[in-house]
Amino acid sequence: MENYTEIQFEEHIESQLLERGYIKSSPKLYDRSLCLIPSQLIDFIQETQPKQYKKLTEQYGDDTNNKLTKRISEQIESKGVIEVLRKGVKDRGNTFKLVYFKPKSGLNQEHQDLYKKNRFIEVRQLKYSKKNENSIDMGIFINGIPVMMLELKNSLTGQDHTHGIKQWKFDRDSKESLFKFKRNMVYFSVGNEKVFMSTRLSGSKTRFLPFNKGIDNPVNPKGHMTHYLWDELLQKDSVLDLIENFVHIRKDVEKVYDPKQQRLVEKKSETLIFPRYHQLNVIGKIK
């Protein structure tokens, strides 16, 4: 293990995801302007909603794919990825579902079949910017839509989760399209021993919270202490459960004094809430 590199850490996580049904996608297929993998998104829609797609082609013709992906990208930017995944997107009178959640029962075979057609995609070394060639260690996508970003650090090369946190704060411009608030559910900094997370990148003001089993993670005789992230959280049913039932936007209103108006005014703010590990664990035991 002395020569265990960060790339091998990436490869290990990737192999675990691929074994569980993820698809590996080339970073070259990612569109930096749309913040999507257009080919995966269009293939998913054509496969699951051929009638609606055909109706759209009758209006847009050869430009259908460009028009539809642009529309979806704009809706995600304005409403956030959670709302768009839950409610879908309308275009020219057609409503497109962008994900199929797990059926509550096994009675509806059509819903079961559609659910199985969700595409869980991982992309390594995701180049996200139109300004530079910086890359994120790993991006998690559903049907071509980004939902989670991971920076991976290996303590055997002298780095841990704290280095990933610094990277998110100081090397990742929060003004980049992919990092705009609500465009992703969560940003993880993942080491061999600990995981930390944030739901909003704000440069040096970015707040990271622990996503660990306790103050310290228990020793894992089979490998990494943080294995629960890919063995549990990133499993397909778990990701969809998070999107459908757990992650939410909290809206706050507070009274603040405006010196220009010389009076109290209402200041509105939003917070994206992503559950901590122990919260998910408790709820999982109750189910």
CA distance 121 to 18: 9
Type of residue at 161:
H
CA distance 269 to 254: 9
Extract long-range pairs of 26-31: CB within 8 Å, 24+ residues apart.
26/123, 27/123, 27/124, 27/125, 27/126, 27/127, 27/135, 30/123, 30/126, 30/127, 30/128, 30/139, 31/69
User: Is residue 107 exposed (0-12), middle (13-18) or buried (19+ Cβ within 10 Å)?
Assistant: exposed
DSSP letter for each residue of the chain: -TT--HHHHHHHHHHHHHHTT-EE--GGG-BTTTTB-HHHHHHHHHHH-HHHHHHHHHHHGGGHHHHHHHHHHHHHHHH-HHHHHHH-EEETTEEE-S--PPPSSS--HHHHHHHHT--EEEEEEEE--SS---EEEEEEEETTEEEEEEEE--GGGT--HHHHHHIIIIIS-TTSGGGSTTSSSEEEEE-SS-EEEES--BTBT---EE-SSSSSPPP-TTS-TTTHIIIIITSHHHHHHIIIII-EEEEEEEEEEETTTTEEEEEEEEEEE---HHHHHHHHHH-
**How close are the terminal C-alpha atoms of the chain, in Å?**
39
Q: How do the pLDDT tens digits run along the chain, 287 residues long?
A: 456 678 899 999 999 999 999 999 999 999 999 999 999 999 999 999 999 999 999 999 999 999 999 999 999 999 999 999 999 999 999 999 999 999 988 778 999 999 999 999 999 999 999 999 999 999 999 999 999 999 999 987 889 999 999 999 999 999 999 999 999 999 999 999 999 999 999 999 999 999 999 999 999 998 999 999 999 999 999 999 999 999 999 999 888 888 888 888 888 999 999 999 988 876 665 55
Report yes or no: 199 and 99 within 8 Å, Cβ to Cβ: no
Report yes or no: 122 and 29 within 8 Å, Cβ to Cβ: no
Confidence at residue 155, expressed as pLDDT on a 0 to 100 scale: 83
Please give the C-alpha separations between residue 204 and each of 102, 152, 208, in angstroms, as whole numbers: 38, 19, 11
**Residues near 184 by Cβ (< 8 Å), separated by ≥ 6?**
81, 146, 147, 148, 149, 178
Structure tokens at 177: 């399209």
